[in-house]
Amino acid sequence: MSKIIITGGNPLHGKVKVSGAKNASLAILCGTLLAEDEVVLENVPDISDVRILLEILGNMGCGVRWIEEDVLSVKGPQRLSDDAPYKLVKLLRASNLLLGPMLARFGKARISLPGGCNIGVRPMDLHFKGLVALGANLNLERGSIQGKSKRLIGNRVYLDFPSVGATENIMMAACLAEGQTTIENVAKEPEIVDLANFLNSMGARVRGAGTDLIKIEGVPHLKGGRYSIIPDRIEAGTFMVASAATRGDVLLENVIPRHLEPLTAKLREANVEVIEGEDSIRVNADQIDAKNIDIKTMPYPGFPTDMQSQMMSFLSTISGTSIIVENIFENRFQVADELKRMGANVKVEGRMAVIEGVPSLQGTQVKASDLRAGAALVIAGLMAHGDTEISNVQYVDRGYTHLETKLNSLGAQVRRE
Ligand SMILES: CC(=O)N[C@H]1[C@@H](OP(=O)(O)OP(=O)(O)OC[C@H]2O[C@@H](n3ccc(=O)[nH]c3=O)[C@H](O)[C@@H]2O)O[C@H](CO)[C@@H](O)[C@@H]1O
Ligand SMILES: C=C(OP(=O)(O)O)C(=O)O
Protein backbone atom coordinates (compact mmCIF):
# COMPACT_ATOMS: atom_id res chain seq x y z
CA MET A 1 0.00 0.00 0.00
CA SER A 2 1.41 3.38 -0.92
CA LYS A 3 1.80 6.30 1.47
CA ILE A 4 1.73 10.06 1.04
CA ILE A 5 4.64 11.83 2.70
CA ILE A 6 4.48 15.56 3.26
CA THR A 7 7.24 17.85 4.43
CA GLY A 8 5.21 20.63 6.00
CA GLY A 9 5.69 24.33 6.48
CA ASN A 10 5.38 25.68 2.93
CA PRO A 11 2.58 28.20 2.32
CA LEU A 12 0.76 27.33 -0.92
CA HIS A 13 1.10 29.91 -3.69
CA GLY A 14 -0.04 29.93 -7.31
CA LYS A 15 -2.86 28.69 -9.52
CA VAL A 16 -4.59 25.34 -9.66
CA LYS A 17 -7.29 23.97 -11.97
CA VAL A 18 -10.13 22.11 -10.28
CA SER A 19 -11.30 18.83 -11.87
CA GLY A 20 -14.84 17.62 -12.57
CA ALA A 21 -17.08 16.73 -9.64
CA LYS A 22 -16.81 13.22 -8.23
CA ASN A 23 -20.37 13.07 -6.96
CA ALA A 24 -21.89 14.48 -10.15
CA SER A 25 -19.77 12.18 -12.35
CA LEU A 26 -20.75 9.07 -10.43
CA ALA A 27 -24.48 9.82 -10.58
CA ILE A 28 -24.29 10.81 -14.25
CA LEU A 29 -22.29 7.69 -15.15
CA CYS A 30 -25.05 5.57 -13.56
CA GLY A 31 -27.56 7.68 -15.51
CA THR A 32 -25.89 6.76 -18.82
CA LEU A 33 -27.57 3.35 -18.42
CA LEU A 34 -30.87 5.07 -19.20
CA ALA A 35 -29.73 6.22 -22.65
CA GLU A 36 -30.21 4.23 -25.83
CA ASP A 37 -27.29 5.86 -27.69
CA GLU A 38 -23.72 6.86 -26.96
CA VAL A 39 -23.15 9.47 -24.25
CA VAL A 40 -20.00 11.60 -24.26
CA LEU A 41 -19.04 13.16 -20.94
CA GLU A 42 -16.55 16.02 -20.56
CA ASN A 43 -14.71 17.14 -17.41
CA VAL A 44 -14.70 13.62 -15.91
CA PRO A 45 -12.22 13.38 -13.00
CA ASP A 46 -9.47 10.76 -13.03
CA ILE A 47 -10.22 9.24 -9.62
CA SER A 48 -10.50 5.65 -8.46
CA ASP A 49 -14.27 5.87 -7.82
CA VAL A 50 -14.79 6.71 -11.50
CA ARG A 51 -12.42 3.99 -12.68
CA ILE A 52 -14.19 1.36 -10.53
CA LEU A 53 -17.63 2.46 -11.66
CA LEU A 54 -16.47 2.22 -15.28
CA GLU A 55 -15.33 -1.34 -14.61
CA ILE A 56 -18.75 -2.15 -13.15
CA LEU A 57 -20.49 -0.60 -16.17
CA GLY A 58 -18.14 -2.54 -18.47
CA ASN A 59 -19.09 -5.79 -16.68
CA MET A 60 -22.74 -4.99 -17.21
CA GLY A 61 -22.19 -4.71 -20.97
CA CYS A 62 -21.53 -0.98 -21.48
CA GLY A 63 -18.91 0.09 -24.00
CA VAL A 64 -16.62 2.50 -22.19
CA ARG A 65 -13.79 4.46 -23.86
CA TRP A 66 -11.66 7.48 -22.88
CA ILE A 67 -11.55 9.86 -25.85
CA GLU A 68 -9.29 12.43 -24.20
CA GLU A 69 -7.77 12.87 -20.74
CA ASP A 70 -11.09 13.92 -19.17
CA VAL A 71 -13.56 13.03 -21.93
CA LEU A 72 -15.32 9.72 -21.84
CA SER A 73 -17.68 7.83 -24.13
CA VAL A 74 -20.23 5.39 -22.65
CA LYS A 75 -22.55 3.29 -24.73
CA GLY A 76 -25.16 1.39 -22.73
CA PRO A 77 -26.07 -2.21 -23.53
CA GLN A 78 -29.37 -3.30 -25.10
CA ARG A 79 -29.51 -6.05 -22.50
CA LEU A 80 -27.70 -6.33 -19.15
CA SER A 81 -24.94 -8.91 -19.47
CA ASP A 82 -24.09 -9.25 -15.77
CA ASP A 83 -24.74 -8.05 -12.23
CA ALA A 84 -22.79 -5.42 -10.38
CA PRO A 85 -20.33 -7.71 -8.52
CA TYR A 86 -19.57 -7.41 -4.81
CA LYS A 87 -15.80 -7.18 -5.25
CA LEU A 88 -16.23 -3.86 -7.11
CA VAL A 89 -19.47 -2.56 -5.62
CA LYS A 90 -18.05 -2.79 -2.08
CA LEU A 91 -15.40 -0.23 -3.03
CA LEU A 92 -17.71 2.69 -3.63
CA ARG A 93 -20.89 4.10 -2.23
CA ALA A 94 -22.26 5.49 -5.45
CA SER A 95 -22.73 2.01 -6.93
CA ASN A 96 -26.15 2.17 -5.22
CA LEU A 97 -27.14 4.70 -7.90
CA LEU A 98 -27.22 1.92 -10.49
CA LEU A 99 -30.41 0.57 -8.95
CA GLY A 100 -32.91 3.15 -10.27
CA PRO A 101 -31.53 3.21 -13.84
CA MET A 102 -31.31 -0.62 -14.03
CA LEU A 103 -34.92 -1.04 -12.93
CA ALA A 104 -36.23 1.72 -15.18
CA ARG A 105 -34.41 0.63 -18.33
CA PHE A 106 -34.08 -3.15 -17.96
CA GLY A 107 -36.83 -4.05 -15.46
CA LYS A 108 -34.40 -5.90 -13.20
CA ALA A 109 -31.43 -5.29 -10.96
CA ARG A 110 -29.15 -7.32 -8.75
CA ILE A 111 -26.58 -5.28 -6.86
CA SER A 112 -24.55 -6.06 -3.77
CA LEU A 113 -25.19 -3.58 -0.98
CA PRO A 114 -22.75 -0.74 -1.60
CA GLY A 115 -19.53 -0.13 0.28
CA GLY A 116 -17.53 3.09 0.48
CA CYS A 117 -16.10 4.95 3.46
CA ASN A 118 -17.08 4.03 6.98
CA ILE A 119 -18.60 7.37 7.97
CA GLY A 120 -21.98 6.16 9.19
CA VAL A 121 -24.63 3.46 8.84
CA ARG A 122 -25.93 4.88 5.54
CA PRO A 123 -29.17 2.92 5.08
CA MET A 124 -31.04 2.88 1.75
CA ASP A 125 -34.59 2.95 3.10
CA LEU A 126 -35.45 6.19 1.31
CA HIS A 127 -34.15 4.88 -2.02
CA PHE A 128 -36.32 1.79 -1.54
CA LYS A 129 -39.36 3.80 -0.45
CA GLY A 130 -39.25 5.86 -3.65
CA LEU A 131 -38.55 3.00 -6.04
CA VAL A 132 -41.27 0.84 -4.47
CA ALA A 133 -43.71 3.76 -4.81
CA LEU A 134 -42.94 3.70 -8.55
CA GLY A 135 -43.87 0.01 -8.67
CA ALA A 136 -40.53 -1.77 -8.23
CA ASN A 137 -40.36 -4.99 -6.30
CA LEU A 138 -37.27 -5.00 -4.07
CA ASN A 139 -35.82 -7.64 -1.77
CA LEU A 140 -32.62 -8.07 0.17
CA GLU A 141 -31.08 -11.49 -0.28
CA ARG A 142 -27.70 -12.47 1.14
CA GLY A 143 -26.27 -8.95 1.00
CA SER A 144 -27.66 -8.19 -2.43
CA ILE A 145 -30.53 -6.01 -3.54
CA GLN A 146 -32.75 -7.94 -5.93
CA GLY A 147 -35.14 -5.79 -7.92
CA LYS A 148 -37.77 -6.42 -10.56
CA SER A 149 -40.27 -4.17 -12.25
CA LYS A 150 -42.56 -3.87 -15.20
CA ARG A 151 -42.64 -0.36 -16.65
CA LEU A 152 -42.48 1.92 -13.61
CA ILE A 153 -45.48 4.17 -12.93
CA GLY A 154 -45.12 7.78 -11.74
CA ASN A 155 -46.19 8.56 -8.18
CA ARG A 156 -45.77 11.04 -5.30
CA VAL A 157 -42.82 10.39 -3.02
CA TYR A 158 -41.97 12.25 0.17
CA LEU A 159 -38.41 11.90 1.47
CA ASP A 160 -38.16 11.96 5.26
CA PHE A 161 -34.67 13.44 4.87
CA PRO A 162 -33.31 15.24 1.79
CA SER A 163 -30.98 12.38 0.86
CA VAL A 164 -28.72 13.08 -2.11
CA GLY A 165 -28.57 9.45 -3.26
CA ALA A 166 -32.29 8.75 -2.79
CA THR A 167 -33.20 11.91 -4.73
CA GLU A 168 -30.87 10.85 -7.57
CA ASN A 169 -31.99 7.21 -7.72
CA ILE A 170 -35.70 8.06 -7.71
CA MET A 171 -35.25 10.93 -10.17
CA MET A 172 -33.39 8.68 -12.64
CA ALA A 173 -35.95 5.88 -12.33
CA ALA A 174 -38.85 8.29 -12.82
CA CYS A 175 -37.42 9.56 -16.12
CA LEU A 176 -38.59 6.38 -17.90
CA ALA A 177 -41.73 5.81 -15.78
CA GLU A 178 -45.21 6.23 -17.16
CA GLY A 179 -46.77 9.56 -16.12
CA GLN A 180 -45.69 12.13 -13.57
CA THR A 181 -43.56 11.64 -10.45
CA THR A 182 -43.34 14.28 -7.74
CA ILE A 183 -40.57 13.98 -5.17
CA GLU A 184 -40.92 16.21 -2.11
CA ASN A 185 -38.24 17.29 0.38
CA VAL A 186 -35.48 16.42 -2.08
CA ALA A 187 -31.80 17.26 -1.77
CA LYS A 188 -30.77 20.55 -3.39
CA GLU A 189 -27.04 19.88 -3.86
CA PRO A 190 -25.46 21.24 -7.10
CA GLU A 191 -24.81 17.61 -8.15
CA ILE A 192 -28.60 17.01 -8.20
CA VAL A 193 -29.02 19.97 -10.54
CA ASP A 194 -26.17 18.70 -12.72
CA LEU A 195 -27.74 15.25 -12.93
CA ALA A 196 -31.13 16.76 -13.84
CA ASN A 197 -29.50 18.93 -16.54
CA PHE A 198 -27.73 15.87 -17.92
CA LEU A 199 -30.96 13.82 -17.98
CA ASN A 200 -32.82 16.69 -19.66
CA SER A 201 -30.04 16.95 -22.27
CA MET A 202 -30.90 13.34 -23.22
CA GLY A 203 -34.61 14.11 -23.54
CA ALA A 204 -35.86 13.64 -19.96
CA ARG A 205 -38.40 16.07 -18.51
CA VAL A 206 -37.19 16.95 -15.02
CA ARG A 207 -38.22 20.26 -13.43
CA GLY A 208 -37.46 21.83 -10.07
CA ALA A 209 -33.96 20.43 -9.40
CA GLY A 210 -32.26 22.77 -6.93
CA THR A 211 -35.56 23.43 -5.10
CA ASP A 212 -37.13 21.07 -2.57
CA LEU A 213 -39.70 19.67 -5.02
CA ILE A 214 -38.82 17.86 -8.23
CA LYS A 215 -41.38 16.91 -10.89
CA ILE A 216 -40.57 14.40 -13.56
CA GLU A 217 -42.73 13.66 -16.58
CA GLY A 218 -41.76 10.19 -17.74
CA VAL A 219 -40.75 9.58 -21.37
CA PRO A 220 -40.45 6.21 -23.19
CA HIS A 221 -36.77 6.59 -24.21
CA LEU A 222 -33.73 8.71 -23.59
CA LYS A 223 -31.27 9.42 -26.38
CA GLY A 224 -27.54 9.95 -26.02
CA GLY A 225 -25.65 13.22 -26.23
CA ARG A 226 -22.68 15.21 -24.98
CA TYR A 227 -22.52 16.78 -21.54
CA SER A 228 -19.93 18.62 -19.48
CA ILE A 229 -19.81 17.87 -15.74
CA ILE A 230 -19.61 20.67 -13.14
CA PRO A 231 -16.37 21.35 -11.26
CA ASP A 232 -15.84 19.57 -7.95
CA ARG A 233 -16.81 21.95 -5.14
CA ILE A 234 -15.26 19.64 -2.53
CA GLU A 235 -11.91 19.41 -4.31
CA ALA A 236 -12.05 23.20 -4.72
CA GLY A 237 -12.98 23.59 -1.06
CA THR A 238 -10.10 21.37 -0.01
CA PHE A 239 -7.61 23.61 -1.87
CA MET A 240 -9.28 26.71 -0.40
CA VAL A 241 -8.83 25.37 3.12
CA ALA A 242 -5.27 24.22 2.32
CA SER A 243 -4.45 27.77 1.19
CA ALA A 244 -5.97 29.24 4.35
CA ALA A 245 -4.34 26.66 6.62
CA THR A 246 -0.83 27.22 5.22
CA ARG A 247 -1.34 31.02 5.16
CA GLY A 248 -0.91 30.88 1.41
CA ASP A 249 -2.44 32.67 -1.56
CA VAL A 250 -4.02 30.35 -4.15
CA LEU A 251 -6.14 31.07 -7.21
CA LEU A 252 -8.52 28.24 -8.08
CA GLU A 253 -9.65 28.01 -11.69
CA ASN A 254 -12.65 26.10 -13.09
CA VAL A 255 -14.95 26.62 -10.11
CA ILE A 256 -18.54 27.77 -9.67
CA PRO A 257 -18.18 30.26 -6.78
CA ARG A 258 -21.90 30.04 -5.91
CA HIS A 259 -21.49 26.33 -5.07
CA LEU A 260 -18.76 27.26 -2.58
CA GLU A 261 -20.66 29.99 -0.73
CA PRO A 262 -21.25 27.98 2.48
CA LEU A 263 -17.48 27.47 2.78
CA THR A 264 -16.57 30.97 1.59
CA ALA A 265 -18.81 32.46 4.29
CA LYS A 266 -17.09 30.41 7.00
CA LEU A 267 -13.57 31.19 5.78
CA ARG A 268 -14.41 34.89 5.73
CA GLU A 269 -15.76 34.60 9.27
CA ALA A 270 -12.34 33.18 10.20
CA ASN A 271 -10.72 36.34 8.67
CA VAL A 272 -9.52 34.64 5.48
CA GLU A 273 -9.71 36.79 2.36
CA VAL A 274 -11.80 35.08 -0.35
CA ILE A 275 -12.14 36.88 -3.68
CA GLU A 276 -14.74 35.48 -6.08
CA GLY A 277 -14.29 35.79 -9.87
CA GLU A 278 -16.69 34.56 -12.53
CA ASP A 279 -15.27 31.03 -12.61
CA SER A 280 -12.38 31.40 -10.18
CA ILE A 281 -11.77 31.96 -6.49
CA ARG A 282 -8.68 33.38 -4.82
CA VAL A 283 -8.00 32.50 -1.20
CA ASN A 284 -5.43 34.77 0.39
CA ALA A 285 -4.36 34.14 3.95
CA ASP A 286 -0.84 35.61 3.70
CA GLN A 287 -1.11 38.18 6.44
CA ILE A 288 -4.17 37.14 8.38
CA ASP A 289 -4.84 36.89 12.07
CA ALA A 290 -7.18 33.87 11.83
CA LYS A 291 -10.14 33.72 14.17
CA ASN A 292 -11.82 30.66 15.74
CA ILE A 293 -15.30 29.82 14.36
CA ASP A 294 -18.15 27.32 14.85
CA ILE A 295 -19.52 25.06 12.10
CA LYS A 296 -22.67 22.95 11.74
CA THR A 297 -22.94 20.58 8.78
CA MET A 298 -26.28 20.64 6.97
CA PRO A 299 -27.76 19.59 3.64
CA TYR A 300 -26.97 22.13 0.85
CA PRO A 301 -26.99 25.13 0.99
CA GLY A 302 -25.76 24.48 4.51
CA PHE A 303 -22.13 23.74 5.29
CA PRO A 304 -21.12 20.46 3.54
CA THR A 305 -20.25 17.43 5.64
CA ASP A 306 -17.63 16.61 2.98
CA MET A 307 -15.65 19.73 4.06
CA GLN A 308 -15.95 19.20 7.80
CA SER A 309 -12.76 17.20 8.41
CA GLN A 310 -10.60 19.59 6.38
CA MET A 311 -11.94 22.50 8.47
CA MET A 312 -11.03 20.61 11.64
CA SER A 313 -7.38 20.58 10.54
CA PHE A 314 -7.49 24.31 9.73
CA LEU A 315 -9.12 25.21 13.06
CA SER A 316 -6.68 23.08 15.07
CA THR A 317 -4.05 25.85 15.19
CA ILE A 318 -6.32 28.89 15.50
CA SER A 319 -6.24 30.22 19.04
CA GLY A 320 -9.48 30.01 21.00
CA THR A 321 -12.21 27.37 20.95
CA SER A 322 -13.95 26.27 17.74
CA ILE A 323 -16.94 23.92 17.74
CA ILE A 324 -18.02 21.61 14.94
CA VAL A 325 -21.41 19.89 14.96
CA GLU A 326 -21.77 17.02 12.45
CA ASN A 327 -25.44 16.57 11.56
CA ILE A 328 -25.23 14.28 8.51
CA PHE A 329 -22.98 11.27 9.25
CA GLU A 330 -22.64 9.93 12.80
CA ASN A 331 -19.12 8.57 12.36
CA ARG A 332 -17.30 11.45 10.74
CA PHE A 333 -14.97 12.56 13.51
CA GLN A 334 -12.47 9.72 13.17
CA VAL A 335 -9.80 12.13 11.96
CA ALA A 336 -9.77 13.80 15.39
CA ASP A 337 -7.69 10.97 16.89
CA GLU A 338 -5.12 11.27 14.11
CA LEU A 339 -4.95 15.06 14.49
CA LYS A 340 -4.39 14.56 18.22
CA ARG A 341 -1.36 12.42 17.35
CA MET A 342 -0.03 15.51 15.53
CA GLY A 343 -0.52 17.66 18.65
CA ALA A 344 -4.06 19.00 18.09
CA ASN A 345 -6.39 19.41 21.04
CA VAL A 346 -9.77 18.04 19.93
CA LYS A 347 -12.46 16.55 22.16
CA VAL A 348 -15.30 14.63 20.55
CA GLU A 349 -18.61 14.20 22.34
CA GLY A 350 -21.23 12.47 20.15
CA ARG A 351 -22.04 14.76 17.24
CA MET A 352 -19.87 17.62 18.59
CA ALA A 353 -16.13 18.26 18.36
CA VAL A 354 -14.51 20.94 20.52
CA ILE A 355 -11.21 22.21 19.15
CA GLU A 356 -8.86 24.23 21.36
CA GLY A 357 -6.34 25.89 19.07
CA VAL A 358 -2.69 24.93 19.65
CA PRO A 359 0.31 26.94 18.36
CA SER A 360 1.35 24.30 15.78
CA LEU A 361 1.10 20.67 14.63
CA GLN A 362 4.00 18.21 14.38
CA GLY A 363 4.39 15.71 11.59
CA THR A 364 4.12 12.01 12.45
CA GLN A 365 2.66 8.76 11.05
CA VAL A 366 -1.11 8.93 10.63
CA LYS A 367 -3.81 6.88 8.95
CA ALA A 368 -6.72 8.00 6.76
CA SER A 369 -10.02 6.44 7.92
CA ASP A 370 -12.00 7.77 4.95
CA LEU A 371 -11.73 10.06 1.94
CA ARG A 372 -12.16 13.45 3.61
CA ALA A 373 -10.28 12.38 6.73
CA GLY A 374 -7.41 11.68 4.32
CA ALA A 375 -7.79 15.15 2.80
CA ALA A 376 -7.79 16.65 6.28
CA LEU A 377 -4.56 14.83 7.13
CA VAL A 378 -2.98 16.14 3.92
CA ILE A 379 -3.88 19.68 5.06
CA ALA A 380 -2.55 18.95 8.55
CA GLY A 381 0.67 17.61 6.99
CA LEU A 382 1.06 20.80 4.92
CA MET A 383 0.67 22.88 8.12
CA ALA A 384 2.87 20.75 10.37
CA HIS A 385 6.54 21.01 11.33
CA GLY A 386 8.51 18.10 9.88
CA ASP A 387 7.33 15.08 7.93
CA THR A 388 3.83 13.56 8.01
CA GLU A 389 3.38 10.07 6.63
CA ILE A 390 -0.21 9.23 5.70
CA SER A 391 -1.24 5.62 5.16
CA ASN A 392 -4.53 4.23 3.74
CA VAL A 393 -4.25 6.68 0.86
CA GLN A 394 -6.53 4.55 -1.30
CA TYR A 395 -9.30 6.58 0.37
CA VAL A 396 -7.77 9.85 -0.81
CA ASP A 397 -7.50 8.48 -4.35
CA ARG A 398 -11.28 7.94 -4.37
CA GLY A 399 -11.84 11.66 -4.78
CA TYR A 400 -8.77 13.71 -5.76
CA THR A 401 -7.31 13.95 -9.26
CA HIS A 402 -3.48 14.20 -9.36
CA LEU A 403 -3.37 15.50 -5.80
CA GLU A 404 0.41 15.45 -5.30
CA THR A 405 1.08 17.09 -8.68
CA LYS A 406 -1.41 19.85 -7.98
CA LEU A 407 -0.07 20.51 -4.46
CA ASN A 408 3.58 20.44 -5.58
CA SER A 409 2.80 22.96 -8.33
CA LEU A 410 1.68 25.27 -5.50
CA GLY A 411 4.99 24.88 -3.68
CA ALA A 412 4.15 21.99 -1.36
CA GLN A 413 6.56 19.10 -0.79
CA VAL A 414 4.46 15.98 -1.24
CA ARG A 415 5.57 12.58 -2.46
CA ARG A 416 4.21 9.07 -2.64
CA GLU A 417 6.13 5.97 -1.65
C1 LIG B 1 -21.68 9.67 -4.07
C2 LIG B 1 -22.25 10.83 -3.36
O3 LIG B 1 -22.92 11.66 -3.96
N4 LIG B 1 -21.95 10.95 -2.07
C5 LIG B 1 -22.43 12.09 -1.32
C6 LIG B 1 -23.86 11.84 -0.91
O7 LIG B 1 -23.89 10.62 -0.18
P8 LIG B 1 -25.30 9.91 0.10
O9 LIG B 1 -26.15 10.07 -1.10
O10 LIG B 1 -25.01 8.54 0.59
O11 LIG B 1 -25.82 10.80 1.28
P12 LIG B 1 -27.32 11.05 1.71
O13 LIG B 1 -27.67 12.47 1.43
O14 LIG B 1 -28.18 10.00 1.15
O15 LIG B 1 -27.21 10.82 3.28
C16 LIG B 1 -27.54 11.82 4.20
C17 LIG B 1 -28.12 11.22 5.45
O18 LIG B 1 -29.33 10.53 5.13
C19 LIG B 1 -29.31 9.21 5.66
N20 LIG B 1 -30.07 8.34 4.75
C21 LIG B 1 -29.78 8.33 3.42
C22 LIG B 1 -30.48 7.52 2.56
C23 LIG B 1 -31.49 6.68 3.07
O24 LIG B 1 -32.16 5.93 2.35
N25 LIG B 1 -31.76 6.72 4.41
C26 LIG B 1 -31.07 7.53 5.27
O27 LIG B 1 -31.33 7.55 6.46
C28 LIG B 1 -27.81 8.88 5.71
O29 LIG B 1 -27.53 7.84 6.60
C30 LIG B 1 -27.22 10.20 6.13
O31 LIG B 1 -27.31 10.35 7.51
O32 LIG B 1 -24.32 12.92 -0.12
C33 LIG B 1 -23.59 13.09 1.11
C34 LIG B 1 -24.25 14.21 1.89
O35 LIG B 1 -24.08 15.42 1.25
C36 LIG B 1 -22.13 13.37 0.80
O37 LIG B 1 -21.41 13.40 1.99
C38 LIG B 1 -21.54 12.30 -0.11
O39 LIG B 1 -20.28 12.72 -0.58
C1 LIG C 1 -18.61 10.64 1.61
C2 LIG C 1 -18.16 10.85 0.41
O3 LIG C 1 -18.37 10.08 -0.68
P4 LIG C 1 -19.19 8.69 -0.82
O5 LIG C 1 -20.62 9.03 -0.62
O6 LIG C 1 -18.89 8.35 -2.24
O7 LIG C 1 -18.62 7.76 0.20
C8 LIG C 1 -17.33 12.04 0.09
O9 LIG C 1 -17.14 12.32 -1.11
O10 LIG C 1 -16.81 12.69 1.02
In the predicted model, what is the mean pLDDT of residues 131-144?
92
Alpha carbon of 12 to those of 242, 250, 335, 338, 407: distances in Å? 8, 7, 23, 23, 8
Q: Is 116 in the pocket of ligand 2 (CB under 6 A)?
A: yes
The pLDDT score that the predictor gives to residue 102 is: 95
Q: From 177, 175, 230, 233, select the one nearest 207 (Cα to Cα).
A: 175
- Which atom of ligand 1 is closest in space to residue 163's alpha carbon? 13
For residue 124, the CA-to-ligand 1 centroid distance in Å is: 9
Burial class (CB in 10 A: 0-12, 13-18, 19+), 87: exposed
Q: Provide the β-strand partners of residue 73.
A: 40, 65
For residue 85, the CA-to-ligand 1 centroid distance in Å is: 22
The pLDDT of residue 50 is above 80: yes
Q: Is 316 in the pocket of ligand 1 (CB under 6 A)?
A: no
Tell me the percentage of the chain whose pLDDT exceeds 70. 100
For residue 56, the CA-to-ligand 2 centroid distance in Å is: 18
Of residues 363 and 60, more confidence is placed in 363
The pLDDT score that the predictor gives to residue 194 is: 98
For residue 27, the CA-to-ligand 2 centroid distance in Å is: 12
The pLDDT of residue 414 is above 70: yes
Q: Is 124 in the pocket of ligand 1 (CB under 6 A)?
A: yes
The pLDDT score that the predictor gives to residue 97 is: 96
DSSP state of 339: H
**Cβ partners under 8 Å of residue 57, min gap 6:** 29, 32, 33, 64, 74
Q: Is 94 in the pocket of ligand 2 (CB under 6 A)?
A: yes
Span 377-394, pLDDT tens digits: 999 999 999 999 999 999
The pLDDT score that the predictor gives to residue 82 is: 65
**SS3 of 142, please?**
coil
The pLDDT score that the predictor gives to residue 90 is: 82
Taking CA atoms only, the protein residue closest to ligand 2 atom 5 is 93
Angstrom distance (rounded) from CA 30 to CA 57: 8
Give 362-414 as a DSSP string. B--EEE-SSHHHHHHHHHHHHHSBSEEEEE-THHHHTT-TTHHHHHHHTT-EE
The pLDDT of residue 158 is above 80: yes
Determine the length of the chain: 417
The pLDDT score that the predictor gives to residue 120 is: 87
For residue 119, the CA-to-ligand 1 centroid distance in Å is: 10
The pLDDT of residue 137 is above 80: yes
Of residues 123 and 25, more confidence is placed in 25
**SS3 of 58, please?**
helix
The pLDDT score that the predictor gives to residue 309 is: 98
Instruction: Kindly list the strands in the beta sheet with 249-253, ordered across the sheet, starting from the edge strand earlier in the chain.
Output: 13-17, 249-253, 280-284, 273-276
Task: Write the single-letter amino acid at 279.
Answer: D
In the predicted model, what is the mean pLDDT of residues 3-22?
98
For residue 120, the CA-to-ligand 1 centroid distance in Å is: 9
Angstrom distance (rounded) from CA 250 to CA 234: 16
Summarize the chain as % helix, strand, coil (round to 5): 35, 30, 40
Task: Write the single-letter amino acid at 56.
Answer: I
Q: Are 4-19+231-416 and 22-228 equal in CATH topology?
A: yes
The correct CATH number of 22-228 out of 3.40.50.300, 3.40.50.150, 3.90.1280.10, 3.65.10.10 is 3.65.10.10
Band the pLDDT of 150: cuts 50, 70, 90. very high
Exposure b/e, 341-378, CB count within 10 A at least 16 = b: bbbbebebeebebebbbbeebbbbebbbbbbbbbbbbb
Span 84-97, pLDDT tens digits: 777 888 888 888 99
CATH 1.10.3720.10 fits 4-19+231-416, yes or no: no
In the predicted model, what is the mean pLDDT of residues 290-311?
98
- Which atom of ligand 2 is closest in space to residue 122's alpha carbon? 5
- Terminal-residue alpha carbon distance, the chain: 9
Task: Write the single-letter amino acid at 135.
Answer: G
In the predicted model, what is the mean pLDDT of residues 202-218?
98
Span 231-286, pLDDT tens digits: 999 999 999 999 999 999 999 999 999 999 999 999 999 999 999 999 999 999 99
In the predicted model, what is the mean pLDDT of residues 337-363?
98
- Which atom of ligand 2 is closest in space to residue 306's alpha carbon? 10
Taking CA atoms only, the protein residue closest to ligand 2 atom 6 is 93
Taking CA atoms only, the protein residue closest to ligand 1 atom 6 is 164
Q: Is 122 in the pocket of ligand 2 (CB under 6 A)?
A: no
The pLDDT score that the predictor gives to residue 144 is: 86
The pLDDT score that the predictor gives to residue 52 is: 95
Whether the pTM exceeds 0.90: the reply is yes
28, 306, 333: which to mutate for ligand 2, most atoms within 8 A of CB? 306
Angstrom distance (rounded) from CA 186 to CA 156: 12
The pLDDT score that the predictor gives to residue 1 is: 74
Residues annotated within the binding site for phosphoenolpyruvate are: 22-23
In the chain, where the domains are located: 4-19+231-416, 22-228
Span 213-228, pLDDT tens digits: 999 999 999 999 999 9
Q: Give CA angle at 96 (93, 101), nearest 5°.
A: 145
163, 330, 398: which to mutate for ligand 1, most atoms within 8 A of CB? 163
Strands 249-253 and 280-284, bridge-based pairing: antiparallel
Q: Which ligand is nearest to the CA of 371?
A: 2
Cβ–Cβ under 8 Å, residues 52 and 91: yes
The pLDDT of residue 360 is above 70: yes
Cβ–Cβ under 8 Å, residues 375 and 396: yes
Tell me the percentage of the chain whose pLDDT exceeds 90. 89
Residue 210 CB coordination number (10 Å): 17
The pLDDT score that the predictor gives to residue 196 is: 98
Residues annotated within the binding site are: 22-23, 93, 122-126, 306, 328
Which residues are identified as catalytic?
117
In the predicted model, what is the mean pLDDT of residues 399-407?
97
